[in-house]
Structure 1
Amino acid sequence: MIYIDETEPDHEEFEPVFEQRNVTVKQDKDVKEEYNLYEELGRGKFGTVYKCEEKASGRVLAAKFITTNRAVDRKDVEREVEIMRVLQHPRLLQLYDAFDDGKKQMCIILELIEGGELFERVIDDDFVLTEKVCAIFMKQICEGIGYMHSQNILHLDMKPENVLCLSKTGNRIKLIDFGLAIKFDPLKKIQILFGTPEFVSPEVVNFDRVSYGTDMWSVGVICYTLLSGLSPFMGDSVLETMANVTKAAFDFNDESFEPITDEAKDFICQLLVKDRTERMSATNCLHHPWLREDKKKEVAQLNKTKLKKFVTRRRWQKAVNTILALKRMGAVIVP
């Protein structure tokens, strides 16, 4: 059985994975001149990721290739690089290098995270999931989001797939994928039309002003699902899901919540609030009784049956989305 270390992070963990780097995109340069590319680690609608090794240092990293057929695609990658330059924090994926071959592809070199997605890991039959463990993970998510917000950056794509474990055995996580992140100016009205229906906030669905609270809503949905295996606003269709989100109506009536403490439920209730200005900030979350380290958490093992079903459904959705993205890029899919 895998029992997670429930101690708080020590000072060594806050040592950087590599030296602080002021990354700029290297123009008209092939990444293969400086890096050896190895096996593919994954792919999605935004690109393909490979394991790689820096020739000069021998450091093992991850190379994310993004197709940039249009000028706007190149701008998006440049924006992601600029944002990641600012996000130097232990809870956030770190940027190491960036290349533009001058043709139709860009590559960003990233810290390599090998522990896999958080939800994929905790559903393992040998993994002992308790409310205390959930609180440990949620605290780190709030630390990462809190740092982003302190730098006036919104993630805007918070979902389980974007929370990775540093290792297969430890209890540390990192937030990834800043491709949709934006620099936030409170004086400007920013509206967005993207996101995953189950995790987007009411203001996104209503095409209203987004803010720091937009990320916090998604954190609340992740917490609800991690504790219960249920998706609080999931409907039988995308339209029904979005309608449920706009109502912001949810409950804890399922039997999955019977062993969950009132503190945990209160934590969720203060995030899944329709009015974005009334939601807890990331800083407030870290001061909530449920996340305070001096508070004893429920240690009963949680039933993961529904969480396994949730992850299986998300796997299927990701596979379908990847195939559709590849087809849009002109790939021929062979059954």
Structure 2
Amino acid sequence: MDFVLSVGAAVVTATRLLVLPEPQVACETRLWTAGDEETFEYCDVVINSQEKVLDVYMQLEKLGEGKFGTVYRLQEKATGKIRAGKYFRTRTAKEKQAAQAEVELMNLLHHPRLVQCLAAFQGPTELVMVMEYVAGGELFERIVDDDFEHTEPSSTQYLRQILEGLQFMHGQAVVHLDLKPENIVCVSPGSHWLKIIDFGLARKLAPDTPVKVLHGTPEFMAPEVVAFEPVDFFTDMWSVGVICYILLSGESPFQGDNDMETLNNITAARWDFEEETFSEISQQAKEFISQLLQKDPRRRLSSAGALLHPWLQQPQPSSTKPLSKERIKQFLTRRKWQKTGKALLALNRLTLLSQSPERKVSEAQGEEDLGCSPEEDQASRSLPQQGPSFSELLMDREEEEAGSEQPPRNVNCQIKAFTYRKSTTRKVVKAEKTREYTDLVATDAKAVK
């Protein structure tokens, strides 16, 4: 996750009607076939506490790390099939309960458009969920490949798959609550088939227990999340609208100069179709987005209603002109830089905490008493993979005041990334740049020296 406003989720006692989604809509004709998908016999997973995961699987390389634990690539010893192992830390009763709850929730989500949990193993201090291995990478990363055609018709196929997964999920009374491009992945290299992943924030809703949450990724949060109001299935539909907007234009509808400005834009539902980026987009596509990005959740399309929208129903949309990949590349670059900035802030905070004379961490307390959020911990752990490269080592450097006869010296940073319009000059570190992150890098380099 990129950003958390507050840790945890709250349950409120106010009564609210929970409206279940409409019956499912049959799949439309595809532009491709399903030959690259692995088929499964869906069954409910029972947590295995008699065997260890390594009794059944070989553990291969690490794929990633998150606030819950670590993901490894696994190979099933009996069949040789590749899986993904999601290792949860379960040192406390709360951690164990959360991990087991995710297994139970995954048992409700047997659908081709949703990543599958295939097994689970409980050990003394960790629970391992064995997941379907989805090797195709993020959809947006695939779209910007040179050999990948990106058009409005292909976009309708992606949206239809996302909505089919959501429709099934909502039919099980489950809301995802963290839909974003990173959680929409291709089944395999070269595949056009998608799956929704990462159900760590998903919740099962009940008619008599409305739920309020205050977590997610700012750009994709719905207004009711920002306002700390009850969420429902239409909360996911807002995120679909944002994803569709970016998919067609490469621009983020609510992105501000910082997270607070982004959240303010969302609260006000302040957005429009820029002429430069939407001039080639069909009117039906814009109407589809408009019916999702409604501030009032009751006015948004449901997953079933969205599947019935004329834009997704027509067999061949009128415009087949290739859409801009450059703006999507810029969007992806900015997203990566946002993660880098948060990682550097987390590292700075951890460094200051480690230097504090008041800090006392016992072996029993471990990592949880560092004073940082799980997201900051995750960001600092992933810093080596995210950090930019510099043409020279950043160090403290004193310069003469302005007007001095001595010419100013520069710290040169070679950063290849999306260009902002801002230019910043500092007394200690002067760098010609158009990125706001140079200040952040220089500050944190000084802090960790």
TM-score, L = length of structure 1: 0.91
Equivalent positions of 1:123-142 (< 5 A) are 123-142=144-163
Q: Give the number of equivalent residue pairs.
A: 328
Find the residue that maps to 1:7 and give its secondary structure.
coil
1:120 to 122, 141, 145: 141
Q: Alpha-carbon deviation of 1:333?
A: 6.7
- Counterpart in the other structure of 2:8: none
In structure 2, runs of 5+ residues without a counterpart are 1-28, 347-373, 388-449
Equivalent positions of 1:38-187 (< 5 A) are 38-103=60-125, 105-187=126-208
Instruction: Give the Cα separation in 2 of the matches to 1:333 and 1:203.
Output: 32
Find the residue that maps to 1:290 and give its secondary structure.
helix
Contact residue 43 and residue 322 of structure 1 kept, 8 A: no
Instruction: Give the Cα separation in 2 of the matches to 1:293 and 1:266.
Output: 14
Find the residue that maps to 2:310 and give its secondary structure.
coil
- Counterpart in the other structure of 1:7: 30
- Counterpart in the other structure of 2:445: none
Q: Alpha-carbon deviation of 1:65?
A: 1.3
- Counterpart in the other structure of 2:19: none
Contact residue 186 and residue 211 of structure 1 kept, 8 A: no
Find the residue that maps to 2:206 and give its secondary structure.
coil
Q: Alpha-carbon deviation of 1:268?
A: 0.3
CA distance 1:304–1:82, change in 2 (3 Å): same
Contact residue 170 and residue 233 of structure 2 kept, 8 A: yes
Find the residue that maps to 2:313 and give its secondary structure.
coil
- Counterpart in the other structure of 2:350: none
Contact residue 289 and residue 295 of structure 1 kept, 8 A: no
Instruction: Give the Cα separation in 1 of the matches to 2:316 and 2:151.
Output: 15
1:21 to 19, 43, 50: 43
Instruction: Give the Cα separation in 2 of the matches to 1:125 and 1:23.
Output: 40
Instruction: Give the Cα separation in 1 of the matches to 2:263 and 2:306.
Output: 25
Higher mean alpha-carbon deviation, 275-284 vs 312-321, is at: 312-321
Instruction: Give the Cα separation in 2 of the matches to 1:184 and 1:321.
Output: 32
CA distance 1:327–1:152, change in 2 (3 Å): closer
Describe the superposition over 1:275-326 as per-residue Cα deviations: whole angstroms up to 9, x where unpaired: 0111000000100011114343420001111111111111233455567458
Amino acid at match of 2:72: Y
CA distance 1:189–1:130, change in 2 (3 Å): same
Contact residue 27 and residue 102 of structure 1 kept, 8 A: no
**Correspondence 1:328 to 2:351:** no
Contact residue 191 and residue 208 of structure 1 kept, 8 A: yes
Root-mean-square deviation over aligned CA pairs: 2.3
CA distance 1:110–1:319, change in 2 (3 Å): farther
Amino acid at match of 2:139: L
Instruction: Give the Cα separation in 2 of the matches to 1:43 and 1:315.
Output: 16
Instruction: Give the Cα separation in 2 of the matches to 1:333 and 1:138.
Output: 33
Instruction: Give the Cα separation in 2 of the matches to 1:97 and 1:137.
Output: 28
Instruction: Give the Cα separation in 2 of the matches to 1:175 and 1:50.
Output: 19
Identity level (%): 44
CA distance 1:149–1:228, change in 2 (3 Å): same
In structure 1, runs of 5+ residues without a counterpart are 1-5
CA distance 1:138–1:22, change in 2 (3 Å): same
Higher mean alpha-carbon deviation, 162-171 vs 206-215, is at: 162-171
List, as ranges, runs of 4+ consecutive aligned residues in structure 1 with deviation greater than 4 Å: 8-13, 319-327, 329-335
Q: Alpha-carbon deviation of 1:73?
A: 2.0
Amino acid at match of 1:328: D
Instruction: Give the Cα separation in 2 of the matches to 1:199 and 1:237.
Output: 14
- Counterpart in the other structure of 1:3: none
CA distance 1:37–1:11, change in 2 (3 Å): closer
Higher mean alpha-carbon deviation, 284-293 vs 59-68, is at: 59-68
CA distance 1:125–1:16, change in 2 (3 Å): closer
Amino acid at match of 1:283: A
- Counterpart in the other structure of 1:307: 328
Find the residue that maps to 1:27 and give its secondary structure.
coil
Instruction: Give the Cα separation in 2 of the matches to 1:291 and 1:120.
Output: 23
Higher mean alpha-carbon deviation, 214-223 vs 180-189, is at: 180-189
